[in-house]
Amino acid sequence: MRAVLILTVLLVSGWAHGADLRRPVKPAPPTLLSEIRRGADAAFGCQIANSAHPLESEPLLQCLREQQRTNRQQMGRGYGAFESGLWFAGRGRLRGLVAVAPSARAASSLDVAVAGLREAELVLGVSDDDVWRALHTSSSGPRAVGPASTGRSPTARSRSRRPCDRSAASRAARGC
């Protein structure tokens, strides 16, 4: 009886606050960050779909192209951010294939991914570092992605770190 009374009070208070439950749900518009991540997720899906043939680049490349085609049909214009994430992640996987099982096909597939990434980045006006930051920024962290973004690239950050900049034990082991 008490549970029914509490439920009734909660329902009545919802109506008293004027909650319009019949209003249409409006999805949030996609952001550059969300589209880059969606593209990278699609590339990961292709990697999973290609797991039966992990050392073959052609099925992976076909899946990436299919994802690109499907997204272009759905989005119409404004597909550059998705393709940046798709080809950035796809390029990483194809680089791994070339390193593990070098072949002319794998190298050719990598060239296609690099060309797709460069085209998408040119359309957006972003760089590899911008896409990398988008994929490695936490949801609650800053989202400065794009040509106006500042900050050092991951490669510049790693180049500036000298072996003696680490912990005391590490410095002692290296003779610093």
- Res 32: pLDDT: 87
Q: Are 92 and 136 in contact (CB under 8 A)?
A: no
Structural domain includes residue 78 = yes
Q: Which amino acid is at 44?
A: F
The number of distinct structural domains making up the chain is 1
Structural domain includes residue 147 = no
Percent of the chain with pLDDT over 70: 66
- Res 139: pLDDT: 58
Q: What is the pLDDT of residues 68-89, one digit of tens each?
A: 999 988 877 778 899 999 999 9
From first to last of its 176 residues, the chain has per-residue pLDDT tens of: 565 555 455 555 555 556 667 777 777 788 888 899 999 999 999 999 988 888 899 999 999 999 999 998 887 777 889 999 999 999 999 999 999 989 999 999 999 999 999 999 998 899 999 999 989 886 554 444 444 443 444 444 433 344 444 555 544 554 54
- Res 55: pLDDT: 87
Structural domain includes residue 82 = yes
Structural domain includes residue 168 = no
- Res 137: pLDDT: 81
Q: Is residue 126 left, alpha or beta, with left meaning phi > 0 and alpha meaning psi from -120 to 50?
A: beta
- Res 151: pLDDT: 42
Measured CA distances, 147 to 36, 38, 156 (Å):
15, 20, 17
Structural domain includes residue 3 = no
Structural domain includes residue 149 = no
- Residue from 143, 135, 145 nearest 85 by CA: 135
Q: Which amino acid is at 130?
A: D
Structural domain includes residue 105 = yes
Instruction: Domain of residue 70: give its range.
Output: 30-138
Cα 50 to Cα 53: distance, rounded to the nearest angstrom: 6
Structural domain includes residue 170 = no
Q: Are 132 and 121 in contact (CB under 8 A)?
A: no
